[in-house]
């Protein structure tokens, strides 16, 4: 716990975004995580992404469950809404919140324990429903809050702090998500904000559920020799499959979008995800190609936007639910009375 709150004085060159806020306006309270935690770095990336997107703080909902990762929504955008739910239940709570108010931007933060152990069922169904949210999985391969046991994402052979090697097969959240129809799948590393920030922005702009798996070293329990999720190992093992830029909707796209052979994806809100590099014979809109690529690079941390499909309807579109937040639906329409209920019940008889 730092001795003081971050002083409010800021650099005179601090720029303002489209809604007149500086990046300092997107900060939260001081982090109580260990010094050097990868999660804090991801928090900083989320702050930068939301500031650059000019998301109004009061139009943002921060969702989380339990764990070190799930504490982090407190550390960004103090002016936003938030719900810290039961362990692993964040996707369920987010589904409910989104069902009631589809107008907010939903940012969920979870960890490998919260998402891949206790909450794996909820995660899978949120993916199936294509719930419109950014789901950040802060993946450190360890149960940090309970002092360093292996998690469901620990690689085979990766060593605990005491030197014991893991023997059980890990769950790769990316391959899991691809297999159950996820519409936006990306991976990055907390130590590479240059890559992470544009990915987060594209994920927020995505129509539907965007899973961003971020390798986030645990400095206290998983940053030693023999760990496959340490800062040192992650830096050496990351392999950027794709490189991309996020171009916001209002920006005029001038000149060449990128080198020949590159792809760009027009996002649902008019922004463009512009790939400056993708491997040969790789199509970011081809689910099978993404899985194949991952299988072809074992032992490497394959990063970048790995798959994106803007053509799948999200939860509200599938359900045909009202176009606005329920709070904006007139009461007599929202609750049409006993007579209407009788008519509805009659139609089932």
List residues near other proteins by CB under 8 A: 1-4, 6-14, 34-38, 40-41, 43-44, 190-191, 193, 217, 219, 223, 231-232, 235
Residue listed under structure tokens 């760990």 = 227
Shortest distance in whole angstroms from residue 231 CB to other proteins: 5
What gap in Å lies between CA 262 and CA 310, rounded to an integer? 17
Complex with other proteins: residue 108 or 217, whichever CB lies closer: 217
Closest CB to other proteins among residues 124, 136: 136
Whole-angstrom distance between the N-terminal and C-terminal Cα of the chain? 62
CB nearer other proteins, residue 190 or residue 271: 190
Q: Tell me how far, at minimum, the Cβ of 262 lies from other proteins, in Å.
A: 24
The residue among 190 and 274 lying less far from other proteins, judged by its C-beta, is 190
Using a 10 angstrom Cβ sphere, with 0-12 exposed, 13-18 middle and 19 or more buried, the burial of residue 297 is: middle
Q: Minimum Å distance from CB 166 to other proteins?
A: 22
Long-range pairs for 221-226: beta carbons < 8 A, 24 or more residues apart: 221/142, 221/143, 221/144, 221/147, 221/148, 221/161, 222/140, 222/141, 222/142, 222/144, 222/148, 222/161, 224/159, 224/161, 225/159, 226/158, 226/159, 226/163, 226/165
Nearest-approach distance from CB 93 to other proteins, in angstroms: 28
Q: Smaller CB distance to other proteins: residue 10 or 336?
A: 10
Minimum CB–partner distance for residue 47 and other proteins (Å)? 9
């Amino acid at each position: 716990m730092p001795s003081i709150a971050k002083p409010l004085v800021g650099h005179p060159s601090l720029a303002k975004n489209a809604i007149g806020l500086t990046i300092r306006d997107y900060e939260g309270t001081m982090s109580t995580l260990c010094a050097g935690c990868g999660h804090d770095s991801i928090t900083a990336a989320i702050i930068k992404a939301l500031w650059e997107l000019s998301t109004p703080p009061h139009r943002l909902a921060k969702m989380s469950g339990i764990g070190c990762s799930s504490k982090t929504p407190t550390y960004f955008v103090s002016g936003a809404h938030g719900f810290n739910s039961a362990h692993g239940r964040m996707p369920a709570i987010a589904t409910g919140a989104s069902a009631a108010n589809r107008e907010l931007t939903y940012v969920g933060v979870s960890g490998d324990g919260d998402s891949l152990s206790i909450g794996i069922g909820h995660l899978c169904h949120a993916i199936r429903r294509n719930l419109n949210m950014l789901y950040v999985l802060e993946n450190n391969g360890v149960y940090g809050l309970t002092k360093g046991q292996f998690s469901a994402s620990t690689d085979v052979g990766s060593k605990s702090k005491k030197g014991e090697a893991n023997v059980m097969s890990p769950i790769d959240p990316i391959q899991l998500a691809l297999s159950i129809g996820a519409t936006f799948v990306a991976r990055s590393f907390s130590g590479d904000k240059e890559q992470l920030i544009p990915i987060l922005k594209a994920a927020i702009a995505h129509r539907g559920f965007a899973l961003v798996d971020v390798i986030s070293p645990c400095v206290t329990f998983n940053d030693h020799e023999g760990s496959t999720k340490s800062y040192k190992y992650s830096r050496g093992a990351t392999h950027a499959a794709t490189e991309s830029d996020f171009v916001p909707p209002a920006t005029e796209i001038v000149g060449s979008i990128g080198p020949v052979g590159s792809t760009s994806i027009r996002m649902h809100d008019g922004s463009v995800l512009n790939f400056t590099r993708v491997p040969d014979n790789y199509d970011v809109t081809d689910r099978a190609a993404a899985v194949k690529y991952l299988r072809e690079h074992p032992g490497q941390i394959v990063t970048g936007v790995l798959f994106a499909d803007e053509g799948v309807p999200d939860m509200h579109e599938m359900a045909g639910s009202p176009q606005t937040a329920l709070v904006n639906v007139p009461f007599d329409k929202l609750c049409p009375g006993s007579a209407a209920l009788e008519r509805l019940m009659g139609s089932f008889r």
